Structure 1
Amino acid sequence: MKKIVLVMVSLLVYGFTNAQEAKFGVMAGLDFASAKGVYPGGSVSESETGFYIGALVDFTVSNQFHIQPELELVFIKDSKQLQLPILAKVVVVDKLSLLLGPDLLFDLDKKTPGVKTFGLGLDFGGAYDINKNLSIEAKYNLGLTNLIENAPSGYSAKISGFFAGVGYKF
């Protein structure tokens, strides 16, 4: 799993760096996570607050469009996840951008029987550049993958979260 993530990040960095302006940065913030389970006749949900730290690369494609892959370590209660969002960043007005893209989730904890260690989500949100180096970001990660292996019909478990944090580009 670590090799897959490393190869994906390397390919993204290599592929975009050759033709685009790239800014590297770090980020940190809070994750307001929620897990929702659905079963025939009902549902259950649980919320937890955690934090994340990570790195990003902002590739300028044009003045109005950027590609921004991120690598985030997310810590919620006793669990650790690695998330790899690959975001399209569209500049709406000066300093304000919309974010949208897929998010790959890797569970870094010991495998729990019956629970998948890989998931896919969709991130959407916004970013505001305070200055050329410092920005704030808020986004929602909608979990798309049913994390129950071989789930019977009508059963599902998904993880979503609201992320709010700051980023610094070098």
Structure 2
Amino acid sequence: MKKVLLTSLLFLFITLSFSQGYQSTKYGVRAGVNISNLDFDPAPIDRNLHRNGFYFGGFAEFSISESLWLNTELQWSAEGAKDEQWKANYLKLPVQLKFVVGQNLSIGIGPEIGLKTWQSSDNFDNFIYSGVGGIQYTLFEDYFIEARAVYGFNDMLDSNIVGPGLEAQQFTIQVGVGIKI
């Protein structure tokens, strides 16, 4: 049920972004570092659960009003844990509502869906559903720095492979830079 609800919300945001007559549209690229963590239940012993990786992607922002924007992205992200058995990379589609709260400051929140593009083992499901929230500060007219937190809503592990009883949810922090073209 969660998957259906999150997918429906994602398509609603995308549909709204293309159905409205926006005052302004901005495009750009962003990249940075990930610090991802797998939270296992029950917790495994003797594992380094953090993985430092990177992300990069492109985005389009659509103006809804002067202080509200719809941000859609397509990004690639290296995630999982440091242990070779628990590494995975994803192609992700985050969709955020961004609120301008100051002259150079904005915050965003929304859903994210990810498709597994590579894994070190067959432990992972093909799709992940997450929530993303972040803050962005514009340094110059088109350059910005950002920080985000991404929390996975579903169990990332394929229960047919790892067996019942072991579940993992992912939490990722992203810190990076971007430019609006």
Same fold (TM over 0.5): yes
From 169, 172, 175, the equivalent of 1:158 is 169
Structure 1: which 5+ runs fail to align? 1-7
Identity across the alignment (%): 24
1:121-150 CA-to-partner distances (Å, cap 9, x unmatched) read: 011120011122111110100111112234
Partner of 2:49 in structure 1?
A: 46
Q: Which amino acid aligns with 2:179?
A: Y
Structure 2 CA distance for partners of 1:87 and 1:15, relative to 1, 3 Å: closer
Partner of 1:19 in structure 2?
A: 21
- Tell me the SS of whatever aligns to 2:179: strand
Partner of 2:110 in structure 1?
A: 101
Supply the distance in 2 between the matched residues of 1:111 and 1:156 (Cα, whole angstroms): 17
Q: Which amino acid aligns with 1:163?
A: Q
Partner of 1:168 in structure 2?
A: 179
Supply the distance in 2 between the matched residues of 1:58 and 1:166 (Cα, whole angstroms): 16
Checking the alignment, whether the CA contact within 8 Å between 2:17 and 2:62 is kept in structure 1 is: no
Partner of 1:37 in structure 2?
A: 40
Checking the alignment, whether the CA contact within 8 Å between 1:17 and 1:59 is kept in structure 2 is: no
Supply the distance in 2 between the matched residues of 1:109 and 1:17 (Cα, whole angstroms): 34
What is the TM-score normalised by the length of structure 2? 0.77
Compute the RMSD of aligned alpha carbons.
2.6
Q: Which amino acid aligns with 2:113?
A: L
Checking the alignment, whether the CA contact within 8 Å between 1:36 and 1:43 is kept in structure 2 is: no
Supply the distance in 1 between the matched residues of 2:123 and 2:55 (Cα, whole angstroms): 26
Checking the alignment, whether the CA contact within 8 Å between 2:62 and 2:69 is kept in structure 1 is: yes
Aligned length: 159
**Hey, which of these two has a bigger chunk of helix by percent?**
2
Q: How much does 1:81 deviate?
A: 1.1
- Tell me the SS of whatever aligns to 1:109: strand
Structure 2 CA distance for partners of 1:12 and 1:33, relative to 1, 3 Å: same
From 122, 131, 143, the equivalent of 2:152 is 143
- Tell me the SS of whatever aligns to 1:69: strand
Q: How much does 1:166 deviate?
A: 0.7
Structure 2 CA distance for partners of 1:94 and 1:17, relative to 1, 3 Å: farther
Q: How much does 1:80 deviate?
A: 2.1
Supply the distance in 2 between the matched residues of 1:99 and 1:32 (Cα, whole angstroms): 19
Structure 2 CA distance for partners of 1:48 and 1:75, relative to 1, 3 Å: same
From 121, 127, 145, the equivalent of 2:130 is 121
Supply the distance in 2 between the matched residues of 1:17 and 1:135 (Cα, whole angstroms): 28
Supply the distance in 1 between the matched residues of 2:172 and 2:17 (Cα, whole angstroms): 29
Q: Which amino acid aligns with 1:66?
A: W
Structure 2: which 5+ runs fail to align? 1-9
Checking the alignment, whether the CA contact within 8 Å between 2:74 and 2:92 is kept in structure 1 is: yes
**Hey, which of these two has a bigger chunk of strand by percent?**
1
